Amino acid sequence: MGSSIKIQIVGYKNSGKTTLIADLLQAAAADGLRAGTLKHHGHGGKIAFQDENSDTGIHRSSGAIVSGVQGEDTFQLCLDQPVSFSGLVRLYEPLELDLLLIEGFKEEQLPRVVLLKHDGDVQLLLSSTHVLLVIIWPSVSAELIPRVYPVYRLNEKEQYIDFLKDWMKGMST
């Protein structure tokens, strides 16, 4: 699935996925890495395009399954058809990213960080493979986590960011 390092961030709603991704993006930028993100819209329903009355919206309503618009240094692509997870990841390959952070897509199994907010969330960890580390909220009993995984508390941000940076360095050599 391309040469960029891919890290999947999984957890249930409001477990800190987006915050972790923002922290990782800032760390990557500080290290001079080109990073991108892919997020699963896990709330059900179609994503509403914000351009129905624009030229690209008219293109789609007239039959285009994909439309793109470019202005200045920004390009936006809207695709209105199902795409497999691997197909979505392949869309990023020409961008020559160093790092692709993937939020959600729990059913996929890439190297991942699992965020646990409640004891009951441990099932997500137990159904996961390729776990890099586990981040737990204060409400989670650490004893529930199998000892084969590195476990960090939510407030140990510097430590788990450093762990992931070290892992990425190992992957790129």
Whether 63 is in a domain gets the answer no
Whether 106 is in a domain gets the answer yes
Looking at the structure of the chain, the number of domains it has is 1
Per residue in 78-123, pLDDT (tens digit) is 888 889 999 999 999 999 999 999 999 999 999 999 999 999 999 9
Per residue in 118-159, pLDDT (tens digit) is 999 999 999 999 999 999 999 999 999 988 999 999 999 999
DSSP per residue over the chain, as a string?
--SSEEEEEEESTTSSHHHHHHHHHHHHHHTT--EEEEE--TTSSPPPPS-TTSHHHHHHHTT-SEEEEEETTEEEEEE-S---HHHHHHHTGGG--SEEEEE--TTS-SSEEEEESSGGGHHHHHT-SSEEEEEE-TTS-GGGS-TTS-EEETT-HHHHHHHHHHHHHHHT-
Residue 112 sits in a domain whose CATH number is 3.40.50.300
Supply the range of the domain harboring residue 30.
5-49+84-171
